[in-house]
Amino acid sequence: MPGHFEPLPGGGAAVALDEVEISIIRSLAVQLLELIGPGPAEGAGDPLAELFAEGPSEPPADPVLKRLFPDAYRDPEQAPASPGKAEEQRAHSAEFRRYTENDLRAGKRDNALAVIRSLDELAATGGGGAVLKLSPEESKRWLGALNDLRLAIGSRLEIVDEDDTDDLYRLPDEDPRKPMVMAYLWLGGLQETLVSTLLP
pLDDT tens for 22-75 read 999 999 999 999 999 886 555 455 655 555 566 666 767 888 888 888 877 665
Across the beta sheet with 13-17, what order do the strands follow? 6-7, 13-17, 130-134
Overall number of domains in the chain: 1
pLDDT value, residue 104: 87
Q: What is the pLDDT of residue 168?
A: 80
Residue 13 has pLDDT above 90, yes or no: yes
Asked whether residue 96 is domain-assigned, the answer is: no
Query: Is residue 52 situated within a structural domain?
Result: no
Task: Note the helical H segments in the chain.
Answer: 19-36, 47-51, 63-68, 83-124, 136-156, 162-169, 178-198
**Residue 50 domain flag:** no
CA distance linking residue 124 with residue 121, whole number of Å: 5
Q: Lowest mean pLDDT: which of 59-68, 119-128, 134-143?
A: 119-128
Own/partner pairs, 167-176, CB within 8 angstroms, 24+ separation = none
- Considering the domain boundaries, does residue 134 fall inside one? yes
Task: State the residue range of the domain holding 169.
Answer: 6-43+63-69+104-198
| Higher-confidence position of 85 and 40 | 85
149-185 per-position pLDDT tens digit: 999 999 999 888 777 777 887 888 899 989 999 999 9
Cβ–Cβ under 8 Å, residues 152 and 25: no
Q: Looking at the predicted structure, is the pLDDT value of residue 79 above 60?
A: no
Please tell me the pTM assigned to this model.
0.81
State the pLDDT at residue 1.
40
Three-class DSSP category at 173: coil
With respect to residue 116, please indicate whether it lies within any of the assigned structural domains: yes
- What is the mean predicted confidence (pLDDT) over 120-132? 80
